[in-house]
Amino acid sequence: MPEETPNTRKRKGGAKQCKSVPAEAKPQTKKQKNAPKDDHVAWDGPTSNHKTNKDGYGCIWRHHIEDNGWDTHPCNHQLNGFYASADTQGDRYALYSRDFLSTARNLRYVEADDSMTEQARARVKNAGARVIAQGVRKSEGFDIDKYVNLAKTAFYWLQREDGWKINVCPQPEPRNRLKQNQPNFYPRQSKTKGGHGAWYPYEHNYHHLIPIGAVEEFVVGKTGAETVRSEQVIKIVLMSRWNIHNRLNMMLLPQQEIVAEVVGLPAHCPWGIPSHVEYQNSLESKLKDIRAKILEAIVDGNEHPDLQEVQIDFDNISKTLFEKVKNMKAGLKLGKVEWP
């Protein structure tokens, strides 16, 4: 059970939005004759990227974001994912604002008092046994009861009115001041700044629809004679101002399969699985098409191909992937994307 036991009395008035959703900062679109000298376009790798410049240039790496400016940095993928999901006018909000308690009841995962049923426990244990049988996780030290308790905690929070709904502040406010006024799914900034964290109200992740590893493997490429060209590819992608952490490329996904089934989405790396190889590999042809287009421009002597087109190509893939992930089988691990 959570460290704090809140009052589970029903609140009146339905879901109340806790934080406003600011407009996403848009980069300037004017073309650059020469590559600007800043941390976003420098060929320095992920550890030194974005040291100082946050004015909207592109990014294809995961990197540390200082506390100062955390809530405004364009590469804060978790916060961008939250805002994309909490935008009532956007295409994601409906996924996270349904009557999940009724769905759980219909699936017979909660009792009349909304506590977790034996059927739900069996569902979790059977899934854990399947993971072990598939060899994804070794049975030694793999504590299935841990995942049963995670599901139990998630269903406990579901008892609250609007318990799993996006951008709703728990009422009454938690006694811990570092968690006050922090809505559901709002990312935890730091130990000192507080927040609920990625476990509340159920374990979740903000998934990159186009993963960082996929861009590194299928767009950048780093081997043999391609290394020099890869540096040019990186510079062109960054100069296009496409940011892999932008809202369009982020999607909130549950981690536990049983929770994902109730929510109606696939599960992101459940059971401690470290990656989604099938999903990532299924993007190879689409991403290599972008690389081929960039390399063709380089070979033709165009140091700077149509940068806006590069950004649009990535954005279109993100849009398509959102629709495909949204329609994947609910309650199963995020898997291979099927293209026409």
User: How would DSSP label each residue in 314-339?
Assistant: HHHHHHHHHHHHHTSPTTSB--PPPP
Q: What is the pTM of this model?
A: 0.86
pLDDT tens series, the chain, 340 aa: 444 444 444 444 455 678 888 888 665 444 444 434 444 444 344 433 444 444 556 888 887 787 878 888 888 999 999 999 999 999 999 999 999 999 999 999 999 888 899 999 999 999 999 888 888 887 778 889 999 999 999 999 998 878 999 999 876 656 666 667 789 999 988 877 777 889 999 999 999 999 999 999 999 886 555 666 777 888 888 888 899 999 999 999 999 999 999 999 999 999 988 889 999 999 999 999 999 988 888 776 655 568 889 999 999 999 999 999 999 999 999 999 999 8
Integer Cα distance of 325 and 290 in angstroms: 21
CA dist., res. 17 & res. 173, Å (int)? 14
Q: Where are the alpha helices (DSSP H) in the chain?
A: 77-86, 100-106, 118-133, 144-158, 212-215, 226-239, 257-263, 277-281, 284-299, 307-326
Q: For residue 310, which of 193, 221, 254, 232 has the smallest C-alpha distance?
A: 232
Q: Sign of the C-alpha dihedral, residues 7, 12, 18, 21?
A: positive
Q: Which position has the token pair 């992608």?
A: 237
User: If you count DSSP H runs as helices and E runs as strands, how many of each does the chain have, helices first?
Assistant: 10, 2
The strand pairing partners of 251, in sequence order, are 207
189 touches 182 (CB < 8 A): no
- Phi, psi (5° rounding) for residue 168? -110, 130
